[in-house]
Amino acid sequence: MTDSARQATRLDALGGRFDPWLLAVTCTLACVGVVMVGSSSIAIAEGLDVGPFYFLTRHIVFLAAGVGLAAWMMRTELKAIEQRSQWLLLACFVLLLLVFVPGVGKSVNGARRWLNLGISNFQAVEAVKLLFIVWLASYLKRFSEDLAATWSAMLKPIGVAVAMVGLLLLQPDFGSSSLILAVAAGMLVLGGVNMPRMFGPVLVLLPLLAVIAIAEPYRVARLTSFRNPWADPFNTGYQLTNALMAVGRGEWTGVGLGASVQKLSYLPEAHTDFIMAVIAEELGFVGVCLVIGLYVALAGRAFWIGLQCVEMRRHFAGYCAFGIALWMSLQSFVSIGVNLGLLPTKGLTLPLISSGGSSVLMTSMALGLLLRVSYELDRAQRQVARLRGEAQQVSTGVPAASQPLPVVTSKAAGEGRGTSRLRQRVEPVFGRTA
């Protein structure tokens, strides 16, 4: 066996570790979700005559399935995911079109957003969010240099996002449309897009979204009721007034777990879209701050992991982390803002906390992917540390415990152009190929 083969074998034997902070925050949010879904859904389940713990049982089943998907993602090499990124983009459009196929798509409350899977319904856009982020991360890695230099490289992902938004607006789903556009814009900025060029599409899309928002009477009613929900508390302002009453009753420490009054058939969708209002009523200002702090920690850790990946030239992993961080932070911000009366009503769930099978499954899968990113980052850092230690032993004349001298493969050497000679010799290079 050659020296380079022995060295590669030793490096491959090194494992990584999943980020403990990220894992702890994820598990805490999941536990909070189980407790609050159980507390907020009992009255609703009894009103539907399906048993008091129907929604809690359903949430736990979906969460268990989500843990399985997360474990699968945590064991999947990012390289294998990246190689299939083009197929993931195709899957996005297939899923968004399937909801319009008779017998496959299902309409609920006038919106055609669900796929009928027999045993349960699945909201297609939840999978599209993750698939689109993975595809865009791969695109940003492959065309990062062109992205800052040419119009076409910038307009292609924007065009893809606009095409998906067009299909979403036909369902209609204005909230998810805005979220996908915001995530796409954020990833493009983090990917190094030319900012002056970015202003052009933004100046076109923002007025267009405003026109779409006011084109439907029910969206106009949401905007007007948001400004003063008490003007029509039994019609357009019903949801927000009950949410605000729940928040007001909670005061500093809440009325106690399980003691909410607003969840007793007053607050609509108490276990899904308005679960944060129940948290505010039962756990008070302290509970709200705790939940917000958990989401801040989740997004902050994801951004930090993404930054570390990009610095090590693991661009695909870094952009995946950025995209998931933007998704979780923006969706939680909108959901919390709606519950607190800071934003107009939107049908976005609180990630990992709200009841909802599709959201729980795909959020768990996304966080499993994020944990895989942290694992491969830690593994790469260990490999670099091993190579640097060997190089230091060689440079000081200390025997390297019968270990061969670090060498660089032709691929790494080709990617290491522009770095110092010593760096080329002792550090593996991650990221784009030449």
Q: Which of 76, 28, 56, 60 is nearest to 373 (CA)?
A: 76
At 422, give phi and psi (nearest 5°). Answer: -65, -40
pLDDT of amino acid 172: 83
| % of residues, the chain, pLDDT over 70 | 87
* pLDDT-wise least confident of 200-209, 245-254, 410-419: 410-419
More confident: 43 or 365 = 365
- The 3-class SS string of the chain reads CCHHHHHHHHHHHCCCCCCHHHHHHHHHHHHHHHHHHHHHHHHHHHHCCCCCCHHHHHHHHHHHHHHHHHHHHHCCCHHHHHHCHHHHHHHHHHHHHHCCCECCEEEECCEEEEEECCCCEEEHHHHHHHHHHHHHHHHHHHCHHHHCCCHHHHHHHHHHHHHHHHHHHCCCCHHHHHHHHHHHHHHHHHCCCCHHHHHHHHHHHHHHHHHHHHHCHHHHHHHHHHHCHHHCCCCCCHHHHHHHHHHHHHCCCCCCCCCCCCCCCCCCCCCCCCHHHHHHHHHHHHHHHHHHHHHHHHHHHHHHHHHHHHHCCCHHHHHHHHHHHHHHHHHHHHHHHHHCCCCCCCCCCCCCCCCCHHHHHHHHHHHHHHHHHHHHHHHHHHHHHHHHHHHHHHHCCCCCCCCCCCCCCHHHHHHCCCCCHHHHHHCCCCCCCC
Task: Determine the residue type at 133.
Answer: I
* For residues 33-59, average pLDDT: 90
Distance CA 174, CA 334 (A): 13
pLDDT of amino acid 429: 38
Distance CA 89, CA 86 (A): 5
Sorting pLDDT into bands at 50, 70 and 90, what band is 9?
Answer: low
Sorting pLDDT into bands at 50, 70 and 90, what band is 64?
Answer: very high
Average pLDDT, the chain: 84
Residues 6+ apart with CB under 8 A from 13: none
Task: Find the angle CA(307)-CA(371)-CA(58) to the nearest 5 degrees.
Answer: 135
**Token pair recorded at residue 145:** 């240099």
* Contact present, 382 and 14 (Cβ < 8 Å): yes
**Token pair recorded at residue 21:** 């902070």
- Identify the bridge partners of residue 115 per DSSP, sorted by sequence position: 105, 122
pLDDT of amino acid 24: 96
Sorting pLDDT into bands at 50, 70 and 90, what band is 396?
Answer: low
* For residues 297-322, average pLDDT: 95
pLDDT of amino acid 255: 93
Sorting pLDDT into bands at 50, 70 and 90, what band is 7?
Answer: low
* For residues 49-76, average pLDDT: 93
Residues 6+ apart with CB under 8 A from 236: 221, 222, 224, 225, 229
Residue 202, pLDDT above cutoff 70 = yes
* Contact present, 255 and 282 (Cβ < 8 Å): yes
pLDDT of amino acid 150: 84
Residue 108, pLDDT above cutoff 80 = no
End-to-end CA distance of the chain: give it in Å, rounded: 28
Sorting pLDDT into bands at 50, 70 and 90, what band is 394?
Answer: low
pLDDT of amino acid 386: 80
**Token pair recorded at residue 22:** 């990220």
